[in-house]
Chain A
Amino acid sequence: MRSWLRQPGLISALPVAAFLLVGFAGPLLMVIGFSFMPPRTFSLAQAPTLANFTSVVTDSYYVSFFWSVSLAAITVLLLLLVSYPIAYGMAKLFGKWANLVTVLVVIPLLVSENIRLFGWVLFLLKNGILDGSLKALFGLGAPQILYSVPAIVLGLVYVYLPFMLFPLVIGLSLVPDVLKEAAADMGASRLQIFREVELPLAMPGVLIGSMLTFILALGSLAESKILGGQAIVMIADDIESAFTFAQNWPKGSVLSVLLIAFSGALVFFLFRRVDLDRIIGRR
């Protein structure tokens, strides 16, 4: 028998590999295949063309890409600002109460995202919970942010908070307190300890959280539809419309391929520059 056939690991992995090939790589390859088919066709058995790529570049899809990338970047920055103190508390200060915070953050995940976002609509609506309560109590209404870009950002930050928070908690728990104490003993200021000791050591969590939330926000759709009143069109919305109302699978495929390529390139570039194994191993 050949040597590779005698390796139980390889043989055991074969069913999973086959499953991944059919269930994960297969659909991706089909999307790539469709992107080269003539516009508004439903079969892969045609002469390939670049017409869809040309039309996507010449049309104004850059607007949707711009909004998706910008809002994803803003979301990541805001999430870092909001989550870092909470994560710090959970990793270093709260002790047994950290579990309670974890439960409080996780419980909303059991409710459908659309329902949670619709809850925000009722909260922010004109004469809704916030506006109505403020009017009743103080005679002054709340600023109207519903159906605008800030409402979309609020939705993105709210929905993706756990995906930033938990990697940050893990990242911060990788930072040994003795190193910070040592830095303080050697005269480092609090800012210096944060910048030169804590942040670099917590970087795996920061990077994984940022990457996760950036990619999720990039492909998001519900926030702009429900909270934003489609004040802007995200790229995922364009993709959905191309596959459904436009009945143009090849165009939807091109937009998907471009989004996947962009996300893939970003992850590849970042993880080429930052070696997570090395950072974690440095502990």
Chain B
Amino acid sequence: MFKSKHTRRNFLQQTGAFAAAYAALGALPRVARAAREKELNVYCWEGYNSDDVLDPFRREFSAKVRAEGLTSDPDAVNRLRAGETKVWDLINVNNPWAQEMMWPEKLIRELPRDRFEPMFAKMMPQFHPPYPWAMDKTGKHLLGMTQRFGPFSFVVNTDKISRGMAEDQGFKLFLDPKMKDRYGVLTYDNWNIYHMCVTADVHPFRKHTKQEIEAVGKVARQIFNGAKILTDDLVQMNLALINGEIDAYFTGGTYTASPARFDGARNVRGITPKSGPMGGKGGIVWIELTSVVNNPQVSPLAEEFLAYVQRADVSKKVAFAEGTYNPVTQMGDSAVLSKFDKDELDAIQWDSLEEEMANSVDYDINPDYAEMYDLYSAAKREREA
């Protein structure tokens, strides 16, 4: 016969043990809080989470650093919104998010201007203080530090489509019937919408008329229906480009082309159109901003890390961490620039960077993004495969 092992006595004992364990668990957060002096959690685009960047910091500050790579800006901001402000100390996303979303939503903290603004003075001239994207809208609060940036429009195989022709034609290249099934779409959806605006001769970063939004929806259908591949994986897209599956891809730039170029495929090139609807400009440039998260128990190492990555040797490591290779704003300082060799400069298209920047506007918020996104996602779903 089954006999219960539980008696009133051992039930009380078990309850007591459970209560003690619970109390010990309750004490854990206090221990964790005390330990945050030597702990740092970084949520960033790939590169800052590289051990090449983190290990020297860990050693110098005897710190336990945890870093997680993010795969999309909106996803990262979502996670902060969903309560992960308690987890992270630093967040690294593209320029508009800090000023337009994270600061108004109290997801990030301001930086001390006296400590960090002098670091902007050493950057390339267009990033000198007060750098608008690093400030809040009133211009009083410093919201983050810039480092990596890059022109981002589209990528071609220059053996098939010459750089000159691609720059002259701009995004209209993808509407040419001869290009059907000869290009891919890298599904960085937010970027695609901006670039589809440019393709439709519409400025992406201002209020739009109904006709303009419809024109963008029409372009979205044309682009998707003519594409051979859609993927959000830049390695896969470069591979398709190198193997001759496609001759170009829509949405791309130094960030996506550089790994292939550094591997020797110099025919993979990010293109910035010479002209377009944004005050005559046809390209867009992204600038990353790293901000201190509004963590109630923020680590004091967060600001130390921001200062650490500005150093010349670390700046170079950030630019050439694994994954993708990108110019950094610190290259305005000759001590940083001298750390790059010829192949590295060629991988990040240093030869044309200034010209490409001059032909680009800064990434920004599109006020009609939501409405355009509905048309865009419908075009993708209803694509004629």
Contact = CB atoms under 8 A, between A and B. Distances in A.
Contact of A61 (B74, B230, B243, B381): B381
Interface of B: 4-6, 11, 72, 74-75, 78, 81, 184, 187, 189-190, 228-233, 236, 239-240, 243-245, 370, 373-374, 377-378, 380-383, 385
Contacts of A246: 189, 370, 373-374, 377
A44 to B, nearest CB: 12
A148 interface: yes
Nearest to B245: A126
Given A60-B381, A118-B236, A125-B245, A243 B189 contact: no
A230 B381 contact: no
Given A40-B370, A229-B230, A126 B244 contact: yes
Contacts of B6: 8, 11
B236 A59 contact: no
A87 interface: no
Given A59-B378, A125-B240, A232-B383, 11 more contacts: A8-B4, A11-B6, A40-B370, A59-B374, A64-B381, A147-B229, A225-B231, A226-B233, A229-B184, A230-B229, A231-B383
Nearest to A242: B377
A226 B231 contact: yes
6 contacts: A8-B11, A11-B6, A64-B381, A230-B380, A238-B377, A244-B78
Q: Secondary structure of the A side of the interface? A: loop
A149 interface: yes
B243 A229 contact: no
Contacts of A138: none
Interface in A39-70: 40, 42, 59-61, 63-64
Contact of B382 (A42, A60, A147, A148): A60
A102 to B, nearest CB: 32
B232 A247 contact: no
Nearest to A128: B243
> Which are the 7 A-B pairs with shortest beta-carbon distances?
A230-B230, A229-B229, A245-B189, A8-B6, A231-B385, A244-B75, A233-B381
Q: Which of B189, B190, B383, B385 has the largest number of chain A CB atoms within 10 A?
A: B385
Nearest to B76: A244
B194 to A, nearest CB: 12
A223 B11 CA distance: 51
A149 B72 CA distance: 26
B385 A232 contact: yes
Q: Which of A118, A229, A238, A241 has the largest number of chain B CB atoms within 10 A?
A: A229
Contacts of B374: 59, 246
A217 to B, nearest CB: 19
Contacts, number: 85
Nearest to A224: B230
Contacts of B383: 231-233
A133 interface: no
A243 B78 contact: yes
A112 B330 CA distance: 37
A40 B370 CA distance: 9
Interface string A214-258: 000000000001100111110000100101111111000000000
B190 A229 contact: no
A76 interface: no
B214 to A, nearest CB: 16
A151 B187 CA distance: 19
Q: Which of A118, A226, A230, A238 has the largest number of chain B CB atoms within 10 A?
A: A230
Nearest to A1: B8
Contact of B72 (A40, A147, A148, A244): A244
Contacts of B81: 42
A147 B189 contact: no
Contact of B74 (A121, A126, A146, A247): A247
Contacts of B370: 40, 246-248
Contacts of A231: 230, 383, 385
A164 to B, nearest CB: 27
A127 interface: yes
A270 B204 CA distance: 50
Given A149-B385, A226-B231, A244 B74 contact: yes
A101 B29 CA distance: 47
Given A226-B236, A230-B231, A238-B377, A245 B382 contact: no
A63 B383 CA distance: 10
A126 B242 CA distance: 10
B22 to A, nearest CB: 10
Given A59-B374, A147-B229, A127 B244 contact: yes
Contacts of B240: 125
A238 B381 contact: yes
Contacts of A61: 381
Contacts of A226: 231, 233, 236
Nearest to A246: B373
A60 B4 CA distance: 59
A210 B276 CA distance: 53
Interface in A1-47: 8, 11, 40, 42
A248 B72 CA distance: 15
A128 B240 CA distance: 10
Nearest to B6: A8
A171 B240 CA distance: 43
Contact of A245 (B11, B72, B381): B72
A59 B11 CA distance: 58
